[in-house]
Amino acid sequence: MLLCYLDVRPSLISTVNPRVILMPAINPLPHADIAMALRDRAEVPSAVGPSFQPLEIAVLIPCYNEEAAIANVVGDFHRSLPGATIYVYDNNSSDRTAAVARAAGAIVRRERLQGKGNVVRRMFGDIDADVFVLVGYKVMSRRFVKSMPLLSSGFEIETELAVHALSLRMPIAEVETKYSERPTGSSSKLSTYRDGIRIVRTIMHLVKEEQPLSFFSWLSLLLFLASMALGAPVVLTFLETGLVPRLPTALLAMGVMLLAFLSLACGLILDTVTRGRQETKRLASGSRTWRSCKRR
């Protein structure tokens, strides 16, 4: 399943095919579908207007020790999207990934900070285009890429991209595509447990950042229930005997209840802050336009 984060100029909606298909990372596959979809967007009839310029497409390929597969991937994209510029960012590979990619016709650069998130952040900062094809199931518009404040360093960047699109309520399309095995000599860099834990941690962090009222409301509810469980027996004993034999428990219950109300207050305050941040991000996103609109 592929995710496409794309914007279409209103004047082109009737003439541009909105379906965009992206091929999986480092797996040499037929690229006919992506070529057809992106060409439909890049080659718009002249009736649109004399000032229109074809959309610039940049293919972004982050790599680490992919000597066995990179030539096929670059070659397939060259054949399917002859007008696209292909960038390969080598992430401290110990094999001949950079040399093979350069020989295949890609623009090769290097990012020394290890991790997919670090590489993609550098790519988004260095490269400008109308449509970005990030090898690894993502097709994105310039508006999306240039308004994206990436913070992740590893594979959790995929979660961050999805949350950014949802927070800005951007159009998202999912397109099914085929997937094949890696070629001999190429292996996945994704660690099931290490990266899985990092992704879950990122999800929790983003929930707190993007929906603080919900996050802290649930936390407040848990603290409230814990306080009630601790304090109810103490209150019942007091009503029966007029005594408080377990003073430490009573103090603990009161402290936990205070934390519950503080948590709710934090959620209300941070929700206002988050709303202001989202408005700023939407304004920044709306100020971005297609590069082809600027060229005459």
Last residue within a domain, chosen from 170, 192, 209: 209
Instruction: Determine the average pLDDT of the residues in 185-207.
Output: 82
Co-location of 191 and 267 in the same domain: no
Is residue 249 domain-resident? yes
Co-location of 80 and 224 in the same domain: no
Note the pLDDT tens digit of each residue in 84-132.
Answer: 999 999 999 999 999 999 999 999 999 999 999 899 999 999 999 999 9
Co-location of 203 and 250 in the same domain: no
Last residue within a domain, chosen from 180, 209, 238: 209
Percentage of residues of the chain with pLDDT beyond 90: 36
The model's confidence at residue 154, banded by pLDDT at 50, 70 and 90, is confident
pLDDT of residue 250: 92
**Top mean-pLDDT range of 36-40, 190-194, 231-235, 292-296:** 231-235
Note the pLDDT tens digit of each residue in 248-291.
Answer: 999 999 999 999 999 999 999 999 998 888 777 777 766 666 56
- Ranking 14-18, 64-68, 164-168 by mean pLDDT, the lowest is 14-18
Instruction: Determine the average pLDDT of the residues in 60-74.
Output: 91
Co-location of 191 and 224 in the same domain: no
The model's confidence at residue 59, banded by pLDDT at 50, 70 and 90, is very high
Residue that wins the pLDDT comparison between 69 and 176: 69
Q: What is the DSSP string of the chain?
A: -EEEE----GGGTTTS------PPTT-----HHHHHHHHHHHS--GGG-TT--PPPEEEEEEESS-TTTHHHHHHHHHHH-TTSEEEEEE-S-SSSHHHHHHHTT-EEEE--S-SHHHHHHHHHHH---SEEEETTTEEEEHHHHHT------STTHHHHHHHHHHHTT--EEEE-----PPPTT------HHHHHHHHHHHHHHHHHHH-HHHHHHHHHHHHHHHHHHHHHHHHHHHHHHS--S-HHHHHHHHHHHHHHHHHHHHHHHHHHHHHHHHHHHHHHHHT---HHHH--
Domain that holds residue 42: 2-209
Last residue within a domain, chosen from 155, 181, 209: 209
Co-location of 91 and 148 in the same domain: yes
Is residue 293 domain-resident? no
CATH of the domain at 32: 3.90.550
pLDDT of residue 230: 93
Co-location of 45 and 179 in the same domain: yes
pLDDT of residue 25: 37
Co-location of 47 and 117 in the same domain: yes
Co-location of 197 and 224 in the same domain: no
Instruction: Determine the average pLDDT of the residues in 241-249.
Output: 88
pLDDT of residue 33: 52
Co-location of 131 and 165 in the same domain: yes
Co-location of 110 and 166 in the same domain: yes
Total domain count for the chain? 2
Co-location of 84 and 148 in the same domain: yes
